[in-house]
Amino acid sequence: MKHIHSTIFSYTCLLALVLVSTFSFTSCDDDETYADRRKRERKQVESFLKNGTEVKDPDSGEVFLSVPGNIKVPSESEFYANDSTTDVSKNEYVLFSGSGIYMQIVRRGIGEKLQDGERATLLTRFTEFNIAADSITCTNTTLDFATLPDVMTVVNTSGTFTASFTSGVLQARYGSKAVPNGWLIPLTFIGIGRQSAPDEEIAKVRLIIPSTEGQSDAMNNVYACFYEITYQRSR
């Protein structure tokens, strides 16, 4: 049976939705080494793969995030052999062993992939879940941010993607224009277009990103995050 986590919501300004968990994030012991912190982080990710999470409003019962547990992890070779897809019905997330990032492609999206040498402006909607603190820490998917997607400029140079935020909630939350490296991994596999008809769907992925590939606070405090992200091309 999937383990359920309840999270109590409170709202703050500064363009960031901060959700305060019933589980507090434990600060690192001064005697802990970086290796110790990374080991703890890996154990937390292993627990997340097994148990998943569900975050809901305790008053209304509205579900804000639901991630089924018992995640299946095909190898990279199996992923590529299967046309670089993950089977959502089987709850598959491919593990990229070099980076430690887990990815599930929910929708491959409309449009073409970013071409070599191309520069593009992308609009993203996301929810960030801090696995260590067991809480949603940042999102732009609520009605309050309906007109405020996170905007980033991306360049594809021989298959290597670089990007920076020009505006948005994640930049405001962490005070950095740097796009987490983990956010760029899906760009190799998804189409980046714009929805022009009701039956068209933009790209959507789910990621488990270790601290080494994450945003600045995750890197500094050594914790992994789960993300649900959509990508589309700006006009």
Query: What is the count of structural domains for the chain?
Result: 1
Residue 10 within a domain: no
Where does the chain have alpha helices with state H? 34-51, 76-81, 169-174, 181-184, 216-221
Question: What's at 121, amino acid-wise?
Answer: T
> For 55-109, how does the pLDDT look when each residue is reduced to its tens digit (9 = 90+)?
998 888 999 999 999 999 999 999 999 999 999 999 999 999 999 999 999 999 9
At 120-163, the pLDDT tens digits run 999 999 999 999 999 999 999 988 887 899 999 999 999 999 99
pLDDT of residue 28: 54
- pLDDT at res. 20: 35
The answer to whether residue 87 is domain-embedded is yes
Q: Would residue 193 count as lying in a domain?
A: yes
pLDDT of 5 above 60: no
The answer to whether position 180 is within a domain reads: yes
Amino acid 235: pLDDT:
82
Residue 120 belongs to a domain: yes
Give me the residue label for tokens 């299946």. 72
Q: Residues 6 or more apart from 177 whose CB is under 8 A from it?
A: 164, 165, 166, 171
Report helix, strand or coil for 135. Answer: strand
Q: How far apart are CA 202 and CA 206, in angstroms?
A: 14
Q: Residue 63: which CATH number?
A: 3.10.50.40
For residue 11, pLDDT over 80 is answered with no
151: nearest Cα among 117, 126, 181, 131: 126
Nearest one of 211, 206, 186 to 44, comparing CA atoms? 211
Structural domain containing residue 40:
34-233
Residue 15 within any structural domain of the chain: no
Given this model, what pLDDT does residue 21 score? Answer: 36
Does residue 53 lie within any of the structural domains?
yes
Would residue 113 count as lying in a domain?
yes
